[in-house]
Amino acid sequence: AKESSTKPSFLYDVSLSLVASREQRMELDLANAITNQEFQMALQAQYSNVEERIIGFEALIRWTNPKYSAESPLKFIQMAEHNNMIVDIGRIALHETFLIAKELEPYNVHISINVSPVQMLQAGFVNEVISIFEQYDLKPGSISLEITETFLIDSFELVINKLNIFKRHGFNIHLDDFGTGYSSLQYLRDLPINTIKIDKAFIDDVETDAHSRAIVTMISNLAKNIDLDVIAEGVETERQNNIVFKAGCNVIQGYLIGPPVPKEVAIKLIEDYNIN
């Protein structure tokens, strides 16, 4: 943005309009993607260094359209949150994830799914999720909902009420990206959560930065003291794993164990890690 301000204004205008039409094209493609069900869930393992096994997977959405499949889902998720398509996309994700959870039931792993604030605030969302859950005949405790702190700010009471209903129906709640944004200790006290996920940003620096290490230790101790589980996100190296483990965090998710993969590959991973 800084560079373009030094360009002749006609160049700036052209690039702006190109950006706009590219977004519009993407929006059209996204609407078609809903009709054509162009979404798949990739699974990323969550590994316990104490149990020495994969205890669960996070389901991460992928847009299979070759035009967009290389991009991070964050981009189209954000777009879908703005134009409310996330409600339909999220519904597809729920069906696919619960179907996968049913298929993985024999392996005794839990499955997490990300829930957007826009979905959570949608009227009828709780009942819809519960009815899909029942439709796939899943066991209580098999599904975790990953939520972020961002939407707690405006709608704390409403969200707490919804989370309590989820909890009563046997869902686990994971607080995602913890430590970024407006983390508040009040959330930890008042929210019916089971697990804190320490954001990758802290794990990235844990080898070189004593402060990041201290924060990981602090969050892990805090979690233990108030009976929450903790997962370190984005662990890529054996050294990070050792540091995080010493800091008191037993469960890791990251490229060290593996990237998000299709269901068939995830089952092979379980067989490698859990069945030998």
Nearer to ligand C2E, 93 or 267 (CB): 93
Is 111 strand, coil or helix? strand
CA distance 57 to 114: 12
Contact with ligand C2E (CB under 6 A) among 254, 263, 269, 270: 254
Kindly write out the interface string for residues 29-58 of this chain, putting x where it contacts ligand C2E by CB under 6 A and - elsewhere: ---------------x--------------
- Given candidates 30, 60, 120, 159, which one binds ligand C2E under the rule CB under 6 A? 60
> Which segments within the chain are labelled E, that is strand?
39-48, 53-63, 110-114, 143-147, 172-178, 195-198, 229-233, 251-253
Q: From Ca ion, ligand C2E, none, which one binds at residue 117 (CB under 5 to 8 Å depending on kind)?
A: none
Cβ–Cβ under 8 Å, residues 60 and 44: yes
Q: Which stretch binds Ca ion (CB under 5 A): 3-11, 174-182, 207-215, 262-270?
A: 174-182
Residue 222: C-alpha distances to residues 65, 156, 217, 228, 248 (Å): 43, 22, 8, 8, 10
Stretch that binds Ca ion, among 84-92, 116-124, 229-237, 256-264 (CB under 5 A): 229-237
Among candidate residues 31, 26, 99, 88, the one with its CA nearest the CA of residue 59: 99
Among 46, 55, 142, 176, binds ligand C2E (CB under 6 A): 176
Do the beta carbons of residue 44 and residue 253 sit within 8 Å? yes
What span, in angstroms and rounded, lies between the C-alpha atoms of 114 and 100? 15
Q: How far is the CB of 81 from Ca ion (least distance, A)?
A: 14
Q: Alpha-carbon distance 95 to 109, whole Å?
A: 18
Among 38, 96, 149, 176, binds Ca ion (CB under 5 A): 176
**Is residue 74 part of the contact set for ligand C2E (CB under 6 A)?**
yes
**In the complex, minimum distance from the CB of residue 178 to Ca ion, in angstroms, rounded to a whole number:** 8
Enumerate binding residues for ligand C2E (CB under 6 A): 44, 60-61, 72-74, 77, 93, 114, 116, 146, 176-177, 234, 236, 253-255, 260
